[in-house]
Structure 1
Amino acid sequence: MAYIVQSAFLEAIFRSLLPATVELLLDELRLTEELKKELESLTTDVSILQAYLRDAVQKQQTSEVVRLWLSNLQDIAYDANDLLDECELERQREKVIRLARLRNSLSVINPKRSMFIHEISGRVTSLKMKMEEIKKQRVDFGLQPVQERLHITSNQSSSLEPPLILGRDDDKRRIKDLLLRPNVAGESNTSVLCIVGIGGLGKTALAQHVYNDDHVKQSFTLKSWVHVSQDFKEEKLTKDILESIDGSSQTSASLNNLQIDLLNKLSGMKYLIVLDEVWIEDWRQWYKFKIPLLQGAVGSKILVTARNIEVAKAIGASTIYPLKPIGEQDCWSLFCYYMAQQNPWIDVNDLGGFSGVIAQKCDGLPSAAADLAFRLCQEPDRSRWSSILNTENLQNSDSSRADLSYQLLPSQHKQCFSFCSLFPNGFQFDKEELINLWMAQNFIQCSDDQRMEDVGSGYFDFLERRSLFQYSRFDRKRNRPKYIIHSSIHNFARYVSKGECINIKPGQRIGKARHLSLTCQEAGTDLTIDFFSDQLKGVYTLVVFGESLATLPDDFIRKFENLRALDLSNTILQKLPDSINYLNHLRCLQLRGTKIRRLPDAIGELYLLQTLGLGNCYMLEKLPKGIKYLQKLRHIDLHWDDDSMLMMAQEDISWSLMGRHSLKYMPPEIGLLIELQTLSRFVVGEKSGCGVEELENLNQLHGELLISNLHLVKRSEEATKAKIKAKKLLQCLELHWDAMGTKL
């Protein structure tokens, strides 16, 4: 039986194949007229079939032949996408050859040109034959064209502030009083307060408002927020609290060592720790976990949110605070707020006729007010609102509310959300790094005057506002937040991405999937997957989780010929094979936190690469000289947590630790990469093309830039030529003169 085809991913592939998308590509490639016409005809067929997708996706639920038709169409679409990617690769190869001619004054030819034309011609002919059969079957199966409904989106950016709460002033005041009241005689230094209530009442939002209250901030020396969810493991939770306190990555493996570290952090400190969404009911787990929490100063508090009063009993809460539904007027006000957020042009005064039924429908649940606002905002015909209100059931499980939010998303947002099922349950992720993965898959659609990262940020904020993503903690070392997906919503993401995204373990045979995550848990794991699977060549994403990955086999690389994103971050990997150039479709290569010393020169042949993540690669000695030819490169992440002035100021780290990294200079002529948006670090070198003046034309840099080895700049003209003042998009600039930490 064929897999249920998920429309979001298929529609994304179709968008990349539309005639308007590929017209410029074909013009620049200088193909033969015959081949160009064949490609244009293929993309026209795609445009025609796109209108039938939504009808086929619905009918596949009850028709096996339609499901098989969709599966075949999906394979053809991916094959066509791979073909056009080969065209894009050839275009970039031509650009590099022209650049080499200019830089070296040599007559350089492209020996692969004739081979490329011959291969592409054969593949186009084969695809055209398959497409004709698909078009014929479309008629046989009675499929009808259906246009996607226009979705109204808001450009309003998200904020780290907790979501709006109404009708909770008394609750907030009472919880604050409980947290701030002085201890009574005989009471232990640390007490536990548990907010209990059903899902959708706004327990997390209320706790966030209390946590961020100025008076609360001033009353506790140390604060920590950790999302717990259903997976209560003492080691993980202790590690998460440590990371939340100081932003440091914890390497201790045993619970005993972690608890000693936490005890040292908390000893004598008046702290507030929030444990959000706790599900534990075994008191023995809690008592084992809480040992280091007992050493805080008088007045320390643990604030817990939970759905079940049995949790409060299991953790021995000294105070249980049952949260009640909000009033109908507050529900109505919240509904109007979310309607205005979704559609700023709407006049909420015109909605008064629906106020009674909407407030009653919400039944005191803030999340229901949000869900209903999002639902009705997608239906411009208000004559249908009454029927919707009569049929919608909002008092539902988390997964049902996630289903409602998901179904109302535009297709490009659906695929971005579904893609996150690759993350393990409870995984804390970084917004910018996720956007880079989306970019690698061409999920982000933007016009010529839009920055891809900004549009991706809008996608992310859109999903966060619908509670599909949730703020988890602030990473002080990166100076940006971490996010998480609630376990029930994560389960839903896995459901809607089935057949596209899959998580496996080493040695496990994979099924049909385009996006793959691999969890390595045993020490010294080699990256082994069933090499006999014919599905590997179709994989677009491979993300590895777990520190234990030691080697990347050469033959492994050759199996993933169409890979767009490879993330090997935070493993003990020390070397990439020279065969990395076989991954010539790669857009995102993440090696953060690995033991990599050198990158193979073959990296310089990854002409489509957009993101090169080398954050916290302290052993990295040099970058490949061919990196200057990667004209599509937008991000080179060289941020190192333990080499930041900002972090040293916050953590009181000795300046003698400066310069412990191994990178001594930048590769020559990195200034040719004028599309760079991120270059976290520039190490001035003495060789030609490695000086600070290479920064001259890199005026699109965002975020942070640390320039080191400035003592090697001998003339003021060199510094002036770097045009630092022109880097107006930078948020943080650090200047280091030598390895001893002499600074500005």
Structure 2
Amino acid sequence: MVDAIVSSLLEQLISVAADKVKQQVRLVTGVREQVKKLTSNLQAIRAVLEDAEQRQMQQDKAVTFWLDQLKDASYDMEDVLDEWVFARLKLQIEGVDDDNAFSLAPHKKKIREINEKLDDIASQKARFKFVENVSNHVKKLKQARTTSLIDEGEVCGRVDEKNELLSKLLFESSEQQKGLHVISLVGLGGIGKTTLAQLAYNNDELYGCVSDTLEEIRVANAIIEGLAESASSLSEFQSLLSHIHRSIEGKKNFLVLDDVWDGDYKKWEPFFLCLKHGLHGSKILVTTRNESVARMMGSTNIIFIEQLTEEECWSLFKRLAFFGHSFEDCERLEPIGRKIARRCKGLPLAAKVEELWKGLLTPLLLSYNDLSSNSMVKRCFSYCAVFLKDYNMYKEELISLWMAQGYLNAEEYEEMEITGEECFNILAARSFFQEFEKNDDDDIMSCKMHDLEHDFAQFVSSNECLWLEFSGTRESVINPFGEKVRHLGLNFKEGASFPMSIHGLNRLRTLLIDDESPFNSSLNNSILPELFSNLACLRPLVIRQSSLLFRYPPNGIREIPENVRKLIHLKCLNLSELHIKRLPETLCELYNLQKLDIRGCRNLRELPVGIGKLKNMRSLLNGVTRSLKYMPIGISKLTSLRTLDKFAVGGGVDGGSTCRLECLKNFRLIQKCGIEGLSNVSHLDEPERLEHKNMENLLHLYLLFEVEDKEEDEDEGGEDEGEDGGYEEEGGEVVNVEDEERRRKNEKDEQLLETLSRL
């Protein structure tokens, strides 16, 4: 993962040099030399990082310490560059005449200190005798070869999966359904895919273990051996395929390809063309960890293998661990054994190995390394360790956190959100995620990680991520891993105190707070100012407080302090469902902010007047904010917006300070938008001034004409108008005033909707 951090930093330094050429950056004498030296050092170190990280995986403590030093120095330089970018944004937005805004000179001392650290790190490099470009010299980690042999009596569970598989294999497709019938078993490493394939296999059929990169000649020879034939005189791939073609033509065949990783269709295509010459009804059974590979193979059926039940896992573990022990020993050790089996979380391979972590490291590393050189996806995976085990990770939140950390390096023509979706899908397809929850459109909304995958993510992140739970009245203290923690999640229950020791983690880049103490909130207004002063390096900040029992929970957060402006690196701020009435104007000085989530803030009455300064804002999630009745005029300047949950058409507010409906025409990149209070539109021609050609990226539009605030009505209690209070006489007729007003409003709403529909 250090390779990914260094690579990202180098890209930023190269960008600085490019800006200098364009005369947008002033690098004074000394700073220019320091930046040049920094780049040179990092490039030399980067050449050996692949070897260093492989040795770290083998738990070489000295190398791990060396990599930790490098990572810290890289993070520090990344912070310096971010501060410089912030200064440039401030100049562009506020128009402040600051000679230092485009210069790195104010950071000269910090850059020199970082370079001194890197000099020391680079000098240690020789001591470890790292190999440069190790992929050209060192063999990759190999998965153990599998065979078709199995003792069916030793298999625990899997009755339903076995029956489903056999029914697919025995099903005879019609003559019209031509082509190969491919069935794939997909699941996490160690889940039992190979065992199921072995159960389905008979000795007179073809079996081949593929593993890792496809070796065409080896697989072709394995198929020929399965045909009980010899091809020792053949060495060319084409000759081997011709031999297979002749041998299977006119015969019904069943081929098992176990542990398939390679998703390159061009490599598999010659096999497909050859194998389709078998008799109708021939089948191929594939096992793989990657759903994308299964689909590339043209699978007609995909069976996703789930975990064993806790009892099945215990049964397997008991048979292996207690073999040869007396009945008394088994009875005495059963409570401990059940705890171990529970930790295996339904993974058969985990139940089989004597040393749980050591035995599973190889298959987990294989899956991780299969992410190829895509360091972006690797960083996204390791970041998931910030959540608690068995945590339900929402895809939208996960992508927002990745974006805030700067992991998603999208090309200029690509959207970061789409790149994040692609990273999520890669991890989901490779079985890093599981237990998916989907919406009605079959889109994944949330998922979980297997406990062992979570342990592995913690391992590859070098304990950068930490989740802590606090409960009760004892004083809360944070001290594990010390300064290594960069991403922290905190959960509070039963009025646990907030750990003031968190202020020592001033390099923290992520803070997720989940306060579930409804009676006596752990986080309150008195804590936030000091928190913001000490944790200035935060990129995402999420604050959640329980509000299930109280409309106005005691001691909860009621306001955001003015010194929120200190969080200059902040890109994602989630304050959803807090009981705040306003946001401070100083929040508009967070020029890096990309996402503001204030959904469910029922008491929020207005947005900051200066919100137009947040030029980088991509998502303003402000739905379910009943007290928010209008948008400030500055919101029309947020031209980077992709999502705006709620655009409230102003009602009962001075029109000069509110944003009218036609302001939406400035949102050229908007993809999702909700408009509320359309009944407040004063002129029917307003929608026509939207210039719909400017909103060609719009995918989802939600319209709401009138919102009845039931909560406010209940608070006011409602007063009786008297018998004749709602009526007046018109031309000799008694008219219900409310009914007449409602009729006229409905007519106007219908005309407005018709105008919007034409657009």
Shorter-chain TM-score category?
0.5 to 0.7
Q: Does 1:17 align with 2:4?
A: no
CA separation of 1:625/1:662 partners in 2, compared to 1, >3 Å: closer, same or farther?
A: same
Report the equivalent of 2:574.
590
Asked whether the 8 Å contact 2:256–2:286 carries over to 1, the reply is no
Q: Distance in 1 between matches of 2:398 and 2:664?
A: 27
Alignment of 1:544-583 (within 5 A): 544-548=513-517, 549-551=522-524, 552-571=527-546, 573-583=557-567
Asked whether the 8 Å contact 2:491–2:516 carries over to 1, the reply is yes
- Paired AA for residue 586 in structure 1: L
Report the equivalent of 2:632.
667
| 2:426 maps to which of 451, 462, 469 | 462
**Structure 1 residue 567: Cα displacement:** 1.2
**Structure 1 residue 492: Cα displacement:** 2.8
Could you say what secondary structure the match of 1:612 adopts?
A: strand
Could you say what secondary structure the match of 1:730 adopts?
A: coil
Query: What's the % identity of the aligned pairs?
Result: 26
Asked whether the 8 Å contact 2:396–2:445 carries over to 1, the reply is no
Q: Which has the larger radius of gyration?
A: 2
- Paired AA for residue 467 in structure 1: S
Q: Distance in 2 between matches of 1:334 and 1:570?
A: 53
CA separation of 1:532/1:545 partners in 2, compared to 1, >3 Å: closer, same or farther?
A: closer
Asked whether the 8 Å contact 1:594–1:616 carries over to 2, the reply is yes
CA separation of 1:631/1:336 partners in 2, compared to 1, >3 Å: closer, same or farther?
A: farther
CA separation of 1:543/1:13 partners in 2, compared to 1, >3 Å: closer, same or farther?
A: farther
**Structure 1 residue 395: Cα displacement:** 8.1
> Which stretch shifts more, 593-602 or 430-439?
593-602
**Structure 1 residue 697: Cα displacement:** 1.9
Alignment of 1:31-46 (within 5 A): 31-34=26-29, 35-46=31-42
| 2:264 maps to which of 328, 343, 365 | 343
CA separation of 1:28/1:567 partners in 2, compared to 1, >3 Å: closer, same or farther?
A: farther
CA separation of 1:720/1:344 partners in 2, compared to 1, >3 Å: closer, same or farther?
A: farther
CA separation of 1:603/1:508 partners in 2, compared to 1, >3 Å: closer, same or farther?
A: same
Over aligned residues, Cα RMSD in angstroms?
A: 4.1
| 2:88 maps to which of 91, 114, 136 | 91
Deviations 1:24-75 (A, max 9, x none): 5555753234234432432232122111212223345575543333222222
Q: Does 1:490 align with 2:454?
A: yes
Asked whether the 8 Å contact 2:197–2:256 carries over to 1, the reply is no
CA separation of 1:203/1:736 partners in 2, compared to 1, >3 Å: closer, same or farther?
A: farther
Aligned length: 523
Taking structure 1 as the reference length, the TM-score comes to 0.62
Q: Does 1:719 align with 2:683?
A: no
Asked whether the 8 Å contact 1:419–1:501 carries over to 2, the reply is yes
Report the equivalent of 1:687.
656
Report the equivalent of 1:125.
112
**Structure 1 residue 724: Cα displacement:** 4.2
Q: Distance in 2 between matches of 1:82 and 1:352?
A: 54
Could you say what secondary structure the match of 1:472 adopts?
A: strand
CA separation of 1:370/1:597 partners in 2, compared to 1, >3 Å: closer, same or farther?
A: same
Asked whether the 8 Å contact 1:202–1:367 carries over to 2, the reply is no
Q: Distance in 1 between matches of 2:692 and 2:497?
A: 45
Q: Distance in 2 between matches of 1:23 and 1:205?
A: 60
Deviations 1:644-677 (A, max 9, x none): xxxxxxxxxxxxxxxx711111122212111111
CA separation of 1:683/1:330 partners in 2, compared to 1, >3 Å: closer, same or farther?
A: farther
Could you say what secondary structure the match of 1:537 adopts?
A: coil
Gaps of 5+ in 2: 138-154, 169-186, 210-254, 277-283, 298-346, 352-359, 471-475, 548-556, 710-745, 754-759
Alignment of 1:607-622 (within 5 A): 607-622=591-606
Q: Distance in 2 between matches of 1:707 and 1:692?
A: 9
**Structure 1 residue 687: Cα displacement:** 3.3
Report the equivalent of 1:81.
78
| 2:370 maps to which of 408, 416, 420 | 408
Q: Distance in 2 between matches of 1:17 and 1:737?
A: 51
Q: Does 1:601 align with 2:596?
A: no
- Paired AA for residue 462 in structure 1: I
Q: Does 1:677 align with 2:642?
A: yes
Larger RCO, structures 1/2 (Cα 8 Å, 6+ apart) = 1
- Paired AA for residue 528 in structure 1: P
Deviations 1:489-542 (A, max 9, x none): 223323333421111245222323343333333244553241563xx1211111
Q: Distance in 1 between matches of 2:545 and 2:567?
A: 21
CA separation of 1:639/1:64 partners in 2, compared to 1, >3 Å: closer, same or farther?
A: same
Q: Distance in 2 between matches of 1:143 and 1:490?
A: 29
Asked whether the 8 Å contact 1:97–1:110 carries over to 2, the reply is no
CA separation of 1:127/1:563 partners in 2, compared to 1, >3 Å: closer, same or farther?
A: same
**Structure 1 residue 629: Cα displacement:** 0.8
Q: Distance in 2 between matches of 1:637 and 1:665?
A: 15
Q: Distance in 1 between matches of 2:656 and 2:260?
A: 58
Q: Distance in 2 between matches of 1:149 and 1:420?
A: 31
| 1:66 maps to which of 46, 63, 66 | 63
- Paired AA for residue 543 in structure 2: L
Asked whether the 8 Å contact 1:97–1:109 carries over to 2, the reply is no
Alignment of 1:151-190 (within 5 A): none
Q: Distance in 1 between matches of 2:4 and 2:497?
A: 36
**Structure 1 residue 613: Cα displacement:** 1.4
Asked whether the 8 Å contact 1:422–1:515 carries over to 2, the reply is no
Asked whether the 8 Å contact 2:478–2:499 carries over to 1, the reply is no
Gaps of 5+ in 1: 1-7, 99-107, 151-194, 210-276, 278-305, 308-321, 356-362, 377-393, 641-659
Could you say what secondary structure the match of 1:597 adopts?
A: coil
Q: Distance in 2 between matches of 1:41 and 1:12?
A: 18
Q: Distance in 2 between matches of 1:28 and 1:614?
A: 40
| 2:45 maps to which of 45, 49, 52 | 49
CA separation of 1:517/1:123 partners in 2, compared to 1, >3 Å: closer, same or farther?
A: closer
Could you say what secondary structure the match of 1:593 adopts?
A: coil
Report the equivalent of 1:710.
678
- Paired AA for residue 419 in structure 1: Y
**Structure 1 residue 80: Cα displacement:** 0.9
CA separation of 1:354/1:585 partners in 2, compared to 1, >3 Å: closer, same or farther?
A: farther
Deviations 1:417-443 (A, max 9, x none): 111111222222221221110011111
- Paired AA for residue 57 in structure 1: E
Q: Does 1:427 align with 2:391?
A: yes
CA separation of 1:354/1:138 partners in 2, compared to 1, >3 Å: closer, same or farther?
A: farther
Q: Distance in 1 between matches of 2:207 and 2:35?
A: 57
- Paired AA for residue 129 in structure 1: E
Could you say what secondary structure the match of 1:132 adopts?
A: helix
Q: Distance in 2 between matches of 1:439 and 1:697?
A: 24
Could you say what secondary structure the match of 2:511 adopts?
A: strand
Alignment of 1:373-384 (within 5 A): none
**Structure 1 residue 564: Cα displacement:** 0.8
